[in-house]
């Protein structure tokens, strides 16, 4: 392998694994919220459902 290939390999490894580590640290600091914004309740409107088309 040439020096340029090794340099690009190292840069790619740092980007991929660094992104993984950064996302793990972010999720540990701010986990998924247990409360969601209003508006997602099911109102049981079976007769006014969206039209389903066969494709």
- pTM greater than the 0.85 cutoff: no
Say which residue, 26 or 33, is predicted with more confidence: 26
To 5 degrees, how large is the angle CA 24–CA 29–CA 31?
Answer: 80
Question: Terminal CA-to-CA distance of the chain, rounded, Å?
Answer: 51
Instruction: Note the pLDDT tens digit of each residue in 4-30.
Output: 999 999 999 999 999 999 999 999 998
Domain boundaries, the chain: 1-31
């Amino acid at each position: 392998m040439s020096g340029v290939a090794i340099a690009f390999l190292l840069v790619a490894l740092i980007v991929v694994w660094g992104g993984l580590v950064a996302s793990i640290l972010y999720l540990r600091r701010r986990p998924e919220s247990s409360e969601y914004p209003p508006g997602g309740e099911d109102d049981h409107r079976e007769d006014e459902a969206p039209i389903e088309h066969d494709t």
